[in-house]
Structure 1
Amino acid sequence: MTKKIGLIDYFLDEWHANNYPAWLRGSAAEQGLDWDVAYAWADTDKPGGLHTDDWCIAHHVQRAGSLAELVERSDALIVLSPDHPEHHLRLSELALQSGKPVYIDKTFAPDLATAAKLFEMAAAGGTPIFSTSALRYSEQLVALPAGINADSISHLSVTGPGAFENYAVHQMEMIVALLGTTVTRVKSLSAPNGGRQLLIEFEGGRQASFLQINNAPFQLLLQPKGEAEGYIVPECTGFFPELMKQMLLFFESGVPPVPREQTLAVMALLDAGRLALDRRDEWISVAR
């Protein structure tokens, strides 16, 4: 019997919701998994965009009459609203009480305190929960040798595009995925009206640098400790297919592929980075 995925969104006519149904169906078929995106519910309609009914028709999804109905009828749940994480706590509440696997899209929460509340709600409901930026699953990161890990990396540099509020999570996810959760402090060296540049320190003297420029590709430069040659990734690609695969495997097993500690570390970095951008050349401690 086909298992049902329910989509919860602030409004459905947005880039992730417009692509996830087809991608998830294709990934399920490739893996031989019997899952379908069956239901959707949105808090509102996008101003100037598709009405929820029209979106559901276009994507072959049944509109749920209420959020409670969607949670009841679904076997697994995806909370979207990728550019409006301030709604995630409210939109996730019923899902996190359900005991059914819940994926919450990037950015997981607007701040670390809200992120902690989401995990607390999931624990109270006995609900498996998972969140990540898709960049964690770029082909190039997945293909790095097994010996390239938090213990072996001396310095990591990442670049990317967009605004800090909704795109910095992608670079922070790569940093935490490769360097771990022992981040200690952040400093901004950004120039007025220029790109956003952060220096990030970890325990043991390891460092990462973050550069965000409007049209930069997602890139990665990595220096292992010692005399080893570095790695240069001129562009990070192919991340959404692996994210869809990991999401479906999570729905099957109920085992989150990304540890809670890493997601909270990403959120702590975002909080500290946001503050550092307002206090140039001042070290900002990262919450632990």
Structure 2
Amino acid sequence: MEKAALAGFGLSLAPQVLSFASARPRDEKRVGIIGLDTSHSLAFTKAFNATDAASDLGGYKVVAAYPHGSKDIPSSVERIPGYTEEIQTLGVEIVDSISSLLEKVNVVLLETNDGRLHLEQALEVFKSGKTVFIDKPISASLVDAIAIFEAAKKYNVPVFSSSSLRYMENAVAVRNGKIGKVMGADTFSPATLEPTHPDLFWYGIHGVETLYTLMGTGCETVQRTHTEGADVVVGTWGGGRIGTFRGTRSGKSGYGGRAFGEEGILDMGSYGGYRPLLVEIAKFFDSGKAPVSAEETIEIFAFMQAADESKKINGHAVSLQAVLDKGRREAAQISI
């Protein structure tokens, strides 16, 4: 794990286990990476490019990479030279621009660790018409997240974004109905801070994404309180369902949670790594069908934004719909 990823729009993960459209021809399975400032870039490349790569990774190979990448986040910038050198040993060509990258590949992994750059970089990919996965966080603001999805719609390009925590085995089982309707859930993850990003956007997103995997969309109000070494965010969903996220500042809490359903209670267990996410990315590249809706990802970012707003007013409840409405108004002013 890199330590630096609306009522009525709920989406079941069940389609993930169904058959997808026929795979692309072998010569159309060339993947390009934008951003070599995160260990995800290397980890994903090692999985896709392995000589014994499993068939459920779709036959995709990373063939080219554009290194940049964060410009002013030291923990990210410092990684670029070493990761650039290492990824070349995996058969990946280094290019000097996103435009050069797009000439060599069919699909894109936008891995830049700095969410502030994602809108600008994604727009260049969208204009090329190439399918793209955008790693967490999809952006460093709710406004940019909305703008990214609006741009994808404008250019008719498939896009999705997710933390790998969404694909913890028991989280998927809960989403697929193992314990019936979920009445509430508690999740936790590290929530270390990066000054360039709102508090939860940088790393707390992992636990928030887990919470949304369990609860689905439809959160109405958000309250955030601070306890020693952690922030606790409480969301109230329709029907009085409660979901909580605890983000620890030490970064040593691990990842997990518990879901409370009409037919039982299930602990999430331990984090299982990147592979389940990569399988979903391969399916997405083949089908062009995002396994996570734009609406759900946008609501996740609205939840985190509302948590920040609640912090500013001493933990009082904030309307998630009001935060969404404001974000949409501001996103409409961005030229895409």
Superposed pair shares fold, TM > 0.5: yes
| 1:57-110, Cα deviation, whole Å (9 max, x unpaired) | 23320012321121122110011123x101101111110112221000000111
Tell me what 1:19 maps to.
Answer: 43
Q: Which has the higher relative contact order, 1 or 2, with Cα contacts under 8 A spaced 6 or more apart?
A: 2
Tell me what 2:88 maps to.
Answer: 57
| 1:186-237, Cα deviation, whole Å (9 max, x unpaired) | 111213x531111111111111011112211212112124xx442223x332
| 8 Å Cα contact 1:7-1:77 kept in structure 2 | yes
> CA–CA distance in 2 between the matches of 1:48 and 1:114?
26
Tell me what 2:60 maps to.
Answer: 35
Cα distance, 1:238 vs. partner?
Answer: 1.4
Verify: 1:207 aligned to 2:231, yes or no: no
Kindly report the root-mean-square deviation, in angstroms, between the aligned alpha carbons of the 2 structures.
2.2
Tell me what 2:196 maps to.
Answer: none
Tell me what 1:156 maps to.
Answer: 185
| 8 Å Cα contact 2:38-2:111 kept in structure 1 | no
> CA–CA distance in 2 between the matches of 1:101 and 1:15?
22
Given the alignment, which residue of 129, 135, 154 partners 1:105?
135
1:129-168 paired onto structure 2 within 5 Å: 129-144=159-174, 146-148=176-178, 152-163=181-192, 164-168=200-204
Tell me what 2:21 maps to.
Answer: none
Verify: 1:183 aligned to 2:219, yes or no: yes
Q: In structure 2, do the counterparts of structure 1 residues 48 and 224 end up closer, same or farther at CA, with 3 Å as the change threshold?
A: closer
| 8 Å Cα contact 2:37-2:112 kept in structure 1 | no
Q: SS where residue 274 of structure 2 aligns?
A: helix
Letter in 2 for 1:282: H
Tell me what 2:116 maps to.
Answer: 86
Tell me what 2:209 maps to.
Answer: 173
Tell me what 2:12 maps to.
Answer: none
Q: In structure 2, do the counterparts of structure 1 residues 204 and 53 end up closer, same or farther at CA, with 3 Å as the change threshold?
A: closer
Cα distance, 1:254 vs. partner?
Answer: 0.8
Letter in 1 for 2:183: S
Tell me what 1:126 maps to.
Answer: 156
Given the alignment, which residue of 236, 244, 255 partners 1:218?
255
Cα distance, 1:24 vs. partner?
Answer: 2.4
| 1:43-66, Cα deviation, whole Å (9 max, x unpaired) | 358644453752442332001232
Letter in 2 for 1:77: V
Q: SS where residue 135 of structure 1 aligns?
A: helix
Q: In structure 2, do the counterparts of structure 1 residues 154 and 143 end up closer, same or farther at CA, with 3 Å as the change threshold?
A: closer
After TM superposition, the structure 1 stretch with the greater mean CA deviation from structure 2, 125-134 or 171-180, is: 171-180
| 8 Å Cα contact 1:250-1:257 kept in structure 2 | yes
Normalized against structure 2, the TM-score is what?
Answer: 0.77
1:234-245 paired onto structure 2 within 5 Å: 235-245=269-279
Q: SS where residue 189 of structure 1 aligns?
A: strand
Gaps of 5+ in 1: none
Verify: 1:71 aligned to 2:102, yes or no: yes
Q: In structure 2, do the counterparts of structure 1 residues 231 and 255 end up closer, same or farther at CA, with 3 Å as the change threshold?
A: same
| 8 Å Cα contact 1:97-1:124 kept in structure 2 | no
Gaps of 5+ in 2: 1-25, 193-199, 325-336
Cα distance, 1:281 vs. partner?
Answer: 2.7
Q: In structure 2, do the counterparts of structure 1 residues 229 and 54 end up closer, same or farther at CA, with 3 Å as the change threshold?
A: closer
> CA–CA distance in 2 between the matches of 1:145 and 1:19?
27
Residue-pair matches, total = 280
| 8 Å Cα contact 2:259-2:265 kept in structure 1 | yes
Normalized against structure 1, the TM-score is what?
Answer: 0.89
